[in-house]
Chains A and B, each alone.
Chain A
Amino acid sequence: MSEDDEDQSPPSDLRSQPPPCSPNKSRNCISSSSSSQTFPDHVLENVLENVLQFLDSRCDRNAASLVCKLWWKVEALTRSEVFIGNCYALSPARLTQRFKRVRSLLLKGKPRFADFNLMPPDWGANFAPWVSTMAKAYPWLEKVDLKRMFVTDDDLALLAESFPGFKELVLVCCEGFGTSGIAVVANKCRKLKVLDLIESEVTDDEVDWISCFPEDVTSLESLAFDCVEAPINFKALEGLVARSPLLRKLRLNRFVSLEEVHRLLLGAPQLTSLGTGSFSQTHQSEQEPDYAAAFRACKSVVCLSGFRELMPEYLPAILPVCANLTSLNFSYANISPDMFKPIIHNCHKLQVFWALDSICDEGLQAVAATCKELRELRIFPFDPREDSEGPVSELGLQAISEGCRKLESVLYFCQRMTNAALVAISQNCPELTVFRLCIMGRHRPDHVTGKAMDEGFGAIVKNCKKLTRLAVSGLLTDQAFRYMGEYGKLIRTLSVAFAGDSDMALRHVLEGCPKLQKLEIRDSPFGDVALRSGMHRYYNMRFVWMSACSLSMGCCKDVARAMPNLVVEVIGSDDDDENREYVETLYMYRSLDGPRKDAPQFVTIL
């Protein structure tokens, strides 16, 4: 499960020029005056290489690379895993010029609001230039992890052909490819360990990609295709699982029935993570398989998901594994509280829990009573409309905060919330690093007092001192943002929608949150004054998104002019003259290599 993972480290500092050489730092340079300078440098370089190769964290590596020219060079030689948080921050050529021995690439493309149709399709984030550049530069590439990128079948084919040692492909929220591309990867990457398609859009090319895996024993450890909306050849899947002794994670799509899962489980009891497919039985049979027994045999399962078309009468079959579960994803299953409570009652070790709001406040109370180890909670709306019923409210979330004190990450969709509950939550859960609350009705106030939600969110930023990610909603005035600016010192990601009264709100944030990296705002009354107030920050941020705000073209042009390394994209601005001043969507980010060349027609780069 990886919906919007938080990346913990600051972005990779990929400056082209290494820092200037300081000879004083290199003692050997000074001491040896007679012998050639290359010898001690060479030794030092070797030593450094041996030492630096143990550095994993990119934070540390970025710091090391700034010490001096030598360290910069050696670090570049030894960095095997590269993280690029914005694919347009630099060109592929720059990557391959600096880092010569990359084995693993993590690349992120579109901004998150693109997921909600706020950006036209074909905006960009194409994987093609990256794969073609890396094909020549990194023949030993092993791992590619993409998020919100546009990947074509050709790109996948090139990937499969160019990297003989390729081991891991993870595509999160990607699109542009289909089952034919997957088939090529399955077929040609003989050392494939991980093929994870997560929340991506995969077109059905009617290719039996499961059958394309090689005939002999595979090295597969993880296969996730729950997002693939296409039937699969179950017999081939069964054979594949049978010849994949290392397989630990298997996430099936909804075209796999309960009977079929049962058969797979019988053959693969060593699984640790299972996506259960549809969890519905397709055929009536006289002898119903003993599903519970199959689950009981899976002693290692700690992560359960799927339940795409749940037949609730079969849910108790998972009871035998509940006691071991650390992660449970019911977010596709419309489960009532009565169905849910007997299940959750057994899940004492649960740390990650995703579900629909159909479990109601009552279900959340049951979670609070049992799951004392809970770290992450995500509650999605069964009926995601502004005016829907809303079976969960502040009561459920507050109950969770009281029962699950170790809570770190919350994503909660509801229709009703109160400031008092948020205050209580902030006090109960000091470990919170991610707090994303979506009160689905826009501008909705505290439903008990009728006041704005300022105090509640204020308490969250004030009391949750480790907070790095915040998404706000409901009726919010500038005061809420004043709190954010004052207390949100560690906030890196901020999502704002339909909030605030004036430019001051955004100013508070831009001036008060020094760690802010990713700012996404929609439909809020922030204008030019606010935009200008943040100019000292934009070079240090990964991106800023502002849509349906009060920005003018003139101001955006000024910003673009004042900050040459900032790419200022205006998206979807109107073609008719009268609207030319209005900026529909502003998306800006720093770039080392100037504006991109692949911008579509509806994007204007200032």
Chain B
Amino acid sequence: MEGCPRNRETCPKLLDLIPQERKWYHDEGKNNTDQEKKLELRLAPPGGDEEDGSVMKKKNTKKEAEDKTIFNLSGNHFSPSNKTNYAPHHISQKRTAPGPVVGWPPVRSFRKNLASSSSSKLGNDQINKSGDGEKQAEPKREGMFVKINMDSVPIGRKVDLSAYGSYEQLSFAVDKLFRGLLAAQRDASGGEGEGKPIIGLLDGKGEFTLTYEDNEGDKMLVGDVPWQMFVSSVKRLRVIKSSEISSALRFGCSKEDKMRN
């Protein structure tokens, strides 16, 4: 996780902070040697997962807390406590460094995957970030609908990606969805009927090219990654004129970005 001091290089800085830190452990004499002993040891990351895991993970974290010292970076207003009672080695993993702690914040698992599965504005599915452990089930969606827009066609469509297994199938679907609309746009008098088939979406050879916006907000060319990987990261599709490839990828305006914050 970002900002989490894990490597040895940050050790010296933390040593400086130790005198100001809260002392959980009571016995001063015992403290110093214990502290130093702890500081010498490897600062291994805790469980490692982003989300809270099971208590088994907590056990591992606890063991490592034995080895680490307390990275109390908030260090203010603390006074050493005068406890004389028993001081086990590994008390609470009292780190205020941003490392994940089991069960904190105290939000139940089914409320946790909102950030990753927020599909409300985008109208499509996202893969849940797992790591939440037992309570999270893979939600079964009835379809994976993403918006698809085409240059020069004012009305967008929605396409169910779960209905297709390959880029070719998607390409055919796009043709089906937009052929009529495109023809209507181009020939307002409604002469020619069906219109030309939309081909060459994937190889750059056609009049149009298929692009998409992924879950990180980047505009990408369709076809580079394996199909499943594409499905898991796509947020919306856009059919652009092949001639405008460079400009579209630079200046695309994303409604999601506006709504996200």
Q: Which residues of A contact B98 (CB under 8 A)?
A: 386-387
A359 vs chain B, min Cβ distance (A): 13
What residues make up the interface of A, taking CB atoms closer than 8 Å to B? Answer: 113, 115-121, 199, 201, 203-204, 227, 229-231, 254-255, 257, 280, 282, 284, 309-312, 331-334, 336, 356, 380-387, 413, 438, 440-445, 450-452, 475, 477, 497-498, 501-503, 522-525, 527-529, 548-550, 552, 554-555, 572, 574, 579, 581-582, 584
Does chain A have a CB within 8 A of B252?
no
Q: Which residues of B contact A115 (CB under 8 A)?
A: 106, 108
B112 vs chain A, min Cβ distance (A): 6
Q: Which residues of B contact A230 (CB under 8 A)?
A: 140
Contact A525 B107 (CB under 8 A): no
| Separation of A571 and B158 alpha carbons in the complex (Å) | 52
Given contacts A280-B123, A312-B121, A525-B92, contact A503 B83 (CB under 8 A): yes
Partner pick for A331 among B56, B93, B111, B158, CB 8 A cutoff? B111
Q: Report the interface size for chain B: residues with CB under 8 A from the other chain.
A: 65
Given contacts A118-B102, A502-B82, A503-B85, contact A356 B142 (CB under 8 A): no
Given contacts A117-B133, A442-B101, 9 further A-B contacts (CB under 8 A): A120-B55, A121-B134, A380-B107, A384-B105, A384-B112, A387-B3, A501-B81, A525-B81, A548-B91
Which residue on chain B has the smallest CB distance to residue A333? B120
Partner pick for B105 among A386, A451, A549, CB 8 A cutoff? A386
Contact B54 A121 (CB under 8 A): yes
Chief secondary structure at chain A's binding surface:
loop
Q: Which residues of A contact B38 (CB under 8 A)?
A: none
Contact B74 A229 (CB under 8 A): no
Contact A382 B110 (CB under 8 A): no
Does chain A have a CB within 8 A of B185?
no
Partner pick for B53 among A117, A312, A555, A574, CB 8 A cutoff? A117
Q: Which of B103-139 contact A (CB under 8 A)?
A: 103-112, 114-115, 118-121, 123, 133-135, 137, 139
Contact A117 B86 (CB under 8 A): no
Given contacts A501-B22, A548-B93, A549-B91, contact A381 B107 (CB under 8 A): yes
Does chain A have a CB within 8 A of B143?
yes
| Separation of A451 and B115 alpha carbons in the complex (Å) | 31
B44 vs chain A, min Cβ distance (A): 17
Does chain A have a CB within 8 A of B145?
yes
Contact A334 B91 (CB under 8 A): no
Contact A550 B24 (CB under 8 A): yes
Which residue on chain B has the smallest CB distance to residue A307? B120
Q: Which residues of B contact A117 (CB under 8 A)?
A: 52-55, 58, 102-103, 109, 133
| Separation of A498 and B103 alpha carbons in the complex (Å) | 12
Does chain A have a CB within 8 A of B79?
yes
Partner pick for A381 among B102, B105, B145, CB 8 A cutoff? B105
Given contacts A386-B104, A548-B91, contact A332 B123 (CB under 8 A): no
